Structure 1
């Protein structure tokens, strides 16, 4: 028995861990390249801003569907092969985005791209399962750091590339990167046999009863969805706000806000320590409050660059606080459920993000920046209501 275990868990080299971190960063970036480029895409296809928001919406809907359908496979299929296949599939989808002849084609290809960009959700359990027990925390931390850098850096890279070479070039370059990573992963990643003997259908059927039976998971998923809806409403419409009077900035500046968000993201280690001293649920409440403060800043000072910068720092800090704390809560539940807990949580998270993108673009077309602020504040106030309603029942 120990022998089998050791063959299933070869120690990862430092080089492989760093490369996995890079794969996570480059893969998750696919979800965010479009956001600073939406105004350019709207002009190219000659459609209003409210219509082009469907690109961000369907990207996130696709990601939620991909998590639901493909991530559970990592428990019952060989993980290296699954990672290779998904990297190849997202390369094909990105090619479809780059070559899209119409907005409808672009929206459909964006959905496919989102659905196949699930590699970040595959490599974390892959790395954790193959790491030596004593270094598992360090390995997972490095991979998660790479994913966070990808989320924050994607908008900056796409803003620069889109301004210089056009929006199609960004997705063409991303397709080439994913193909190269697929070839690398097939040659360099170690074999990782499946961890469970359940059938795929059994795994999927167990998700709904799990969500019903775990009140901590249920609350964490609802709060995550509402929080990410507020986050996405802002990022989907930021480029339109920057282009209108009195600001008059373009995609490059919108992308630069990704770097500003790093300041907010640096709260993660502090939040982790605070949640250990207090409780993860307490810091979830703090994160919701910081998010509300961010949207008040957007509403009161969103016509100035300084106001937007301060708001972005607060918004990213709030999102990071609720995200880290919610995941600490669900990973406090039984270890044998972690894969499925993460699936339920992340599906709710990105369904919320898709809803926020859709409502944010719609509100921008109808009421402008004040409408976007109303959507974001509404989502966060709803989250606050859910949080307060559960305060008497839940402490974890």
Structure 2
């Protein structure tokens, strides 16, 4: 493409991701107020969150592959506008069914996140792809964590409907900015290829071992993440702390600090260390639960655990997406969409299972569960690191046999403080990236 991503464009795409994700998570701090206003009984309040998640899952399968056959810039703008329609319906709803429809529509088009990440990857030269993905995806974590705090503040200030008015306004403004500030994609559009792209998502899961490894890591990674953020209000609202929802929401800033600290993960991935970064970060995720598990005793230890957890999750997430978009540049939208299905399933598992664990064993039991998910992710990482499977279309016997020595030389040079250029002869482009799994 003739134009790349400068700092302003990266930031704009990061904000797009933050607002889109906030559409899904903004309901959490206003459930009680929204449910009472819409006439929902307490047992059905979970549908206000589930509606957005269901829409999001459908969008991953049905809409994300469009990013591989249409101009992503226009697609991002259109999906932002349609997201605004959904949140506008929620803000204007007088009954629960209309609110649920609006939330489902907003969730459906919130998959603009995946289109934005794939667009950033396509617009980036190989040497900057990891850094750009890291900046753009930082908006996802900011949106997830910031939605709780900002939504709670707006609801206290002007009522829960103000949250969705603000989201609709922000989405429309971003749609205009995307068209004005981002360059169009210069590529041939293959509208007839949509069905092939959808089918390719299924083939990735069934036939691509490298993809399955990264997807399973994401599943357990976000199950651990969901365990913390879906359950932390339980011990903080109970004895001995009895914190208010606003006070609990402030812990989102600790998570934000950890996520932003992981922005360098993209640069490490660009240097060929995506897989080691993922492994060490999964280990850090396990350690974070030793700190977060002390929530009943020390808020300082909890804060430290949250920072470490969000740092680890963001580092693994960026590394995974770097490897996948590098291995499948011609179908990056479908690849990321399939990958994020596992993200959504893991998040849902964490949210459901943390309530069970807390009811049975209290917060220590939930912390053990979260650490267990992290450990399962580390096991998957170790298993796939020992048995990397490069893409058959890129596999050359001489390159495969030369890869161990090239990797060994890179590790030795890194240990001695030297920067090693990519081994262009031993491990050509996409094969080299595949071997880093």
In structure 2, distance between residues paired with 1:35 and 1:152:
11
Q: Partner of 1:92 in structure 2?
A: 85
**Map of 1:306 onto structure 2:** 300
Residue aligning to 2:201: 207
Please state if 1:165 is matched with 2:137.
no
Distance 2:126 2:317 in 1: 25
Equivalence for 1:81: 74
Query: How far apart are residue 134 of structure 1 and its match?
Result: 9.1
Alignment-derived partner of residue 327 in structure 1? 321
TM-score, with length taken from structure 1: 0.82
Give, in whole Å, the separation in 2 of the partners of 1:392 and 1:136: 26
Asked whether the equivalents of residues 17 and 139 of structure 1 are also in contact (C-alpha less than 8 Å), the reply is yes
- Shift of residue 201, structure 1, vs aligned partner: 0.7
Q: CA separation in 1, counterparts of 2:354 and 2:195?
A: 36
SS at match of 2:206: helix
1:25 aligned to which of 18, 21, 24: 18
Where 2:232 maps in the other structure, the secondary structure is helix
CA positional deviation for 1:63: 2.1
Deviates more, 1:220-229 or 1:129-138: 129-138
Cα pair 1:158 1:255 within 8 Å, conserved? no
User: Relative to structure 1, is the Cα distance of residues 219 and 128 closer, same or farther in structure 2, using a 3 angstrom cutoff?
Assistant: closer
1:253, 1:239 → 2: CA distance?
Answer: 10
CA distance in 1 between counterparts of 2:11 and 2:270 reads: 27
The superposition leaves residues 331-363 of structure 1 with CA deviations (integer Å, 9 ceiling, x where unpaired) of: 342432433322221121122112222333454
Distance of 2:204 and 2:152 partners within structure 1: 41
1:297 maps to 291
The Cα of 1:9 is off from its aligned counterpart by 4.2
Q: Is the 8 A contact 1:57 1:357 kept in 2?
A: no
Among 141, 144, 155, which residue is 2:148 paired with?
155
3-state DSSP of counterpart to 2:150: helix
8 Å contact kept, 1:39–1:240: no
Distance 1:275 1:370, change over 3 A: same
Supply the RMSD in Å over aligned alpha carbons: 3.4
Tell me the residue number matched to 2:245: 251
Secondary structure, aligned partner of 1:246: coil
- How far the C-alpha of 1:39 sits from its partner, in A, is 5.6
Residues 137 and 321 (structure 1), Cα distance of their counterparts in 2 relative to 1, 3 Å cut: closer
Distance 1:348 1:363, change over 3 A: same
Distance 1:14 1:39, change over 3 A: same
Q: Following the alignment from structure 2 to structure 1, what is the Cα–Cα distance between the partners of residues 284 and 9?
A: 37
Tell me: CA distance 1:385–1:138, structure 2 relative to 1, closer, same or farther (3 Å).
Answer: closer
Flag the 1:356–1:39 CA change in 2: closer, same or farther, 3 A: farther
Q: 1:35 to 1:336 in 2, by over 3 A?
A: same
| 1:123 paired to 2:116 | yes
Matched, 1:222 2:222: no
Give the number of the structure whose alpha-carbon radius of gyration is greater: 2
Displacement of 1:239 in angstroms is 2.9
Match of 2:348 in 1: 354
Q: Distance in 2 between matches of 1:100 and 1:291?
A: 40
Distance 1:185 1:285, change over 3 A: closer
Unaligned runs of 5+ in 1: 1-7
Where relative contact order (Cα < 8 A, 6+ residues apart) is larger, the structure is 1
Shift of residue 30, structure 1, vs aligned partner: 2.1
Q: How far does the alpha carbon of each residue in 1:216-235 deviate from its partner, in whole angstroms, 9 at most, with x for none?
A: 21111011011111111221
Q: 1:64 aligns with which of 53, 57, 62?
A: 57
User: Separation in 2 of the partners of 1:116 and 1:91?
Assistant: 9
Q: Which residue of 2 aligns with 1:174?
A: 167
State the alpha-carbon separation in 2 of the partners of residues 161 and 328 from structure 1. 36
- Structure 2 unaligned spans of 5+: 389-435
* Structure 1 residues 154 and 301: CA distance shift in structure 2, 3 A: closer
| Alpha-carbon distance in 2 for matches of 1:277, 1:153 | 31
Partner of 2:398: none
Look up the SS of the partner of 1:300 in the other structure: coil
Post-superposition Cα deviations, 1:60-86, rounded to whole Å, max 9, x if no partner, equal: 343232122112112222334322321
Q: Answer whether contact 1:298 1:307 (CA < 8 A) is retained.
A: yes
| Cα deviations by residue, 1:280-299 (Å, 9 ceiling, x for unpaired) | 33332222222222223232
Q: Check whether the contact 1:26–1:150 (CA below 8 A) recurs between aligned residues.
A: yes
Match of 1:343 in 2: 337
Residue 27 of structure 2 is aligned with which of 9, 30, 34? 34
